[in-house]
A and B are shown apart, each in its own frame.
Chain A
Amino acid sequence: MATQAATLARPAVAPSAGIVLPAFTLWWREIVRFYRQTTRVIGVLASPLVFWLVIGSGFGTSFRSGGGAGQQHYLDYFYPGALIMIVLFTSIFTMMSVIEDRKEGFLLSVLVAPVPRAAIVLGKVLGGTTLAAIQGMIFLIFAPFAGVHLDLLQVLLVGIVVFLVSFALTALGFAIAWPMDSSQAFHGIVNLFLIPLWLVSGALFPMNGASGWIRAVMRLNPLTYGVEALRSLLYPGTATAFPLASSMATLILFSLVMFALAFLMANRRRTSPA
Chain B
Amino acid sequence: MLSKVAALADPSPEMERVSVAPAISVQNLVHRYDSRTALNGVSFDVRPAELFGLLGPNGSGKTTLFRILSTLMLPTAGHAVIMGADVAQDPASLRRKIGVVFQAQSVDPKLTAYENLRHQGHLYGLRGATLKKRIGEILTRVGLADRAQERVETFSGGMQRRIELGKGLLHRPGVLLLDEPTTGLDPGARRDLWQYLQMLRDEEHVSVLVTTHLMEEAERCDRLAIMNEGNLVALGTPSELKSEIGGDVILLDATGDAAALAERIRARFHVDTAVMGNQVRLEQESGHRFVTDVVEAFPGEIQAMSVSKPALEDVFIHRTGHKFWSEGGEETDPSSK
* A117–B72 CA distance with the chains assembled, in angstroms: 13
- Within 8 Å by CB of A112, from B49, B100, B105, B174, lies B100
Say yes or no: is B191 at the interface (Cβ < 8 Å to chain A).
no
Contacting A at CB under 8 A, from B121-138, are 122-127
Beyond A105-B104, A106-B108, A271-B31, whether A3 also contacts B124 by CB under 8 A is no
Beyond A112-B70, A273-B335, whether A14 also contacts B125 by CB under 8 A is yes
Say yes or no: is A68 at the interface (Cβ < 8 Å to chain B).
no
Contacting A at CB under 8 A, from B63-110, are 67, 70-76, 91-93, 95-96, 98, 100, 102-108, 110
Contact between B73 and A36, CB atoms less than 8 A apart: no
Residue-wise interface mask of A (105-124) relative to B, using a CB-CB cutoff of 8 A (1 in contact, 0 not): 11011111111000000000
* A32–B31 CA distance with the chains assembled, in angstroms: 39
Contact between A17 and B73, CB atoms less than 8 A apart: no
- Within 8 Å by CB of A108, from B102, B120, B127, B174, lies B102
Contact between B74 and A112, CB atoms less than 8 A apart: no
Contact between A270 and B74, CB atoms less than 8 A apart: yes
**How many Å from the CB of B286 to the closest CB on chain A?**
41
Say yes or no: is A13 at the interface (Cβ < 8 Å to chain B).
yes
Contact between B102 and A109, CB atoms less than 8 A apart: yes
Say yes or no: is B223 at the interface (Cβ < 8 Å to chain A).
no
Contacting B at CB under 8 A, from A252-272, are 269-272
Say yes or no: is A179 at the interface (Cβ < 8 Å to chain B).
no
Tally A-B pairs: CB < 8 A: 128
* A132–B21 CA distance with the chains assembled, in angstroms: 52
Nearest to B335 among chain A residues (CB) is A273
Say yes or no: is A152 at the interface (Cβ < 8 Å to chain B).
no
Say yes or no: is B298 at the interface (Cβ < 8 Å to chain A).
no
Contact between B73 and A271, CB atoms less than 8 A apart: yes
* A105–B127 CA distance with the chains assembled, in angstroms: 24
* A7–B200 CA distance with the chains assembled, in angstroms: 12
Interfacial chain B residues near A6, Cβ < 8 Å: 49, 204-205
Residue-wise interface mask of A (122-164) relative to B, using a CB-CB cutoff of 8 A (1 in contact, 0 not): 0000000000000000000000000000000000000000000
Say yes or no: is B6 at the interface (Cβ < 8 Å to chain A).
no
Contact between A21 and B102, CB atoms less than 8 A apart: no
Say yes or no: is A37 at the interface (Cβ < 8 Å to chain B).
yes
Nearest to B151 among chain A residues (CB) is A36
Contact between A108 and B20, CB atoms less than 8 A apart: no
**How many Å from the CB of B75 to the closest CB on chain A?**
7
**How many Å from the CB of B298 to the closest CB on chain A?**
52
- Within 8 Å by CB of B174, from A7, A14, A113, lies A7
Nearest to A28 among chain B residues (CB) is B119
Say yes or no: is B172 at the interface (Cβ < 8 Å to chain A).
yes
- Within 8 Å by CB of B172, from A10, A16, A115, lies A10
Nearest to B107 among chain A residues (CB) is A106
Residue-wise interface mask of A (239-262) relative to B, using a CB-CB cutoff of 8 A (1 in contact, 0 not): 000000000000000000000000
Interfacial chain A residues near B61, Cβ < 8 Å: none
Say yes or no: is B167 at the interface (Cβ < 8 Å to chain A).
yes
Size of the B side of the interface (Cβ < 8 Å), in residues, is: 52
**How many Å from the CB of A193 to the closest CB on chain B?**
27
Contact between B122 and A22, CB atoms less than 8 A apart: yes
Contact between A17 and B110, CB atoms less than 8 A apart: no
Say yes or no: is A52 at the interface (Cβ < 8 Å to chain B).
no
Residue-wise interface mask of A (4-48) relative to B, using a CB-CB cutoff of 8 A (1 in contact, 0 not): 101100110111111001101100110011001100000000000
Contact between B110 and A7, CB atoms less than 8 A apart: no
Say yes or no: is A192 at the interface (Cβ < 8 Å to chain B).
no
Nearest to B122 among chain A residues (CB) is A25
Interfacial chain A residues near B292, Cβ < 8 Å: none
Contact between B73 and A21, CB atoms less than 8 A apart: no
- Within 8 Å by CB of A13, from B73, B103, B172, lies B172
* A270–B126 CA distance with the chains assembled, in angstroms: 29
Contact between A7 and B49, CB atoms less than 8 A apart: yes
Contact between B49 and A108, CB atoms less than 8 A apart: no
Contact between A14 and B95, CB atoms less than 8 A apart: no
Contact between B125 and A106, CB atoms less than 8 A apart: no
Nearest to A21 among chain B residues (CB) is B122
**How many Å from the CB of A201 to the closest CB on chain B?**
34
**How many Å from the CB of A115 to the closest CB on chain B?**
5
Interfacial chain B residues near A108, Cβ < 8 Å: 72, 100, 102, 104, 106
Interfacial chain B residues near A1, Cβ < 8 Å: 19-20, 48
Beyond A1-B20, A108-B72, whether A21 also contacts B125 by CB under 8 A is yes
Nearest to A24 among chain B residues (CB) is B122
Nearest to A16 among chain B residues (CB) is B125
Contact between A111 and B124, CB atoms less than 8 A apart: no
Contact between B98 and A29, CB atoms less than 8 A apart: no
- Within 8 Å by CB of A17, from B103, B115, B123, lies B123
Contact between B106 and A14, CB atoms less than 8 A apart: no
Residue-wise interface mask of B (26-51) relative to A, using a CB-CB cutoff of 8 A (1 in contact, 0 not): 00000101000000000000001100
**How many Å from the CB of A5 to the closest CB on chain B?**
9
- Within 8 Å by CB of A269, from B74, B108, B151, lies B74
* A16–B67 CA distance with the chains assembled, in angstroms: 22
6 pairs from A and B in contact (CB 8 Å cutoff): A7-B23, A13-B124, A32-B115, A113-B95, A115-B123, A274-B67
Where the two chains meet, the residues of A that have a C-beta atom closer than 8 Å to any C-beta of B are 1, 3-4, 6-7, 10-11, 13-18, 21-22, 24-25, 28-29, 32-33, 36-37, 103-106, 108-115, 269-274
Where the two chains meet, the residues of B that have a C-beta atom closer than 8 Å to any C-beta of A are 19-21, 23, 31, 33, 48-49, 67, 70-76, 91-93, 95-96, 98, 100, 102-108, 110-111, 115, 118-120, 122-127, 151, 167, 171-172, 174, 204-207, 335
